[in-house]
Amino acid sequence: MEKTVTLRFYWIERSAADRPAFGDLLRLIGALPVAERERRITGEEILVRLEDFVDDGDEIAGQFIRGQSGNRPGRMLRDRTDALPFGEPLAHGVAFRYRVQDGLFAVQFDPRVLSPSRIMSYIYEFDERAEFSMEPHMREDAWDRFDELPVRKLEVAIAGHPNPAGADNADAAVWDNVAEIGERYGANLVRIQVSMGQRKGALEEGIKAFAREAFRRYENGEDDIRAIKGVLETGPGQKNDEVDLMGTLFDVEEQLHFPEDNWARFYTLRRDLLRDRIRRV
């Protein structure tokens, strides 16, 4: 079975020198028996644990497993469909590799299993003092032009129902309205377009903060953001720039052939891909 695997890269830094280091927390968790690594996050809703932990000194690898207890599928027998013959949670995993020396965290990006923000919520469960910044590895100078030039138009497409919590006060109402529109009309995709139209000039600077908030939600997998596009004013007599802000993230996509019913091999393919690609960054 062919499957597209997406990798993303983040720079992780603790907020202060007296806070625990990210690598130390991974080692703390990895030293525990597997059963003792389990934690429930987001209000006891999601079961997570670290597995396949390997400490190579300069690099730490493994995968974060999410246990699915509810909404379990059935199985097709020859004469009927029945429940699964076991009660344990189904396991879904995202593989990772962390480079200790410079804080580069390479992770399989699959927010349907575990988003990067939920991985951090799991890590925080092991030390209440832990606090990290998690900055995406961007394509060189990706946002410089967006920050430099006036914005004439911004379009953001959002699937599902976004969570207004966590947004800056100025933008919280916008996210709240998007959620309400989607819920009221049963829409799976809400597209916001803010533009100067035929009038001269540019949008207020606050639109850039909104674009960054949308990008933050996209990169962390908090909401299902489908598009973030802008039109920048380049000056009299020049064609305006069109930018795809989601294209600025340094993603790696790879087609892997996954063997059926072989969980160990399923992980090692992703582990080897991460080990190869993190050494190119």
- Domain residue ranges in the chain: 2-75+83-137+250-278, 144-248
Phi, psi at 26, each rounded to 5° = -60, -40
- The pLDDT value recorded for residue 234 is 81
- Give residue 247's pLDDT: 76
Residue 174, pLDDT > 80, answer yes
Q: What is the mean pLDDT of residues 101-122?
A: 94
pLDDT at 74 over 80: yes
DSSP assignment string, 157-173: EEES----TTS-HHHHH
Q: Point out the least confidently predicted range of 18-32, 104-118, 239-253.
A: 239-253
pLDDT at 54 over 90: yes
The percent of residues in the chain predicted with pLDDT above 70, rounded, is: 96
Q: How many CA atoms lie within 13 A of 212 on its CB side?
A: 14
pLDDT band for position 168 (50/70/90)? low
Report the pLDDT averaged over residues 213-219: 87
Chain-centroid distance, C-alpha 133: 14
More confident of the two residues 15 and 250: 15
3-state secondary structure of 209: helix
The CB-side HSE value for 209 (13 A sphere, CA atoms) comes to 10
Q: What percent of the chain has pLDDT over 90?
A: 52
Query: At 230, is the pLDDT very low, low, confident or very high (cuts 50, 70, 90)?
Result: confident
* Angle, helices 206-220/116-124, rounded to nearest 10 degrees: 70
Yes or no: say if 211 and 146 are a contact pair by the CB < 8 Å rule.
yes
140 pLDDT tier (thresholds 50, 70, 90) = low
pLDDT confidence of residue 1: 66
Higher pLDDT, 157 or 222: 157
User: Taking the C-alpha atoms of 173, 177, 180 and 182 in order, what is their torsion angle to the nearest 10 degrees?
Assistant: -140
Provide the pLDDT confidence category of residue 242 given band limits of 50, 70 and 90. Answer: confident
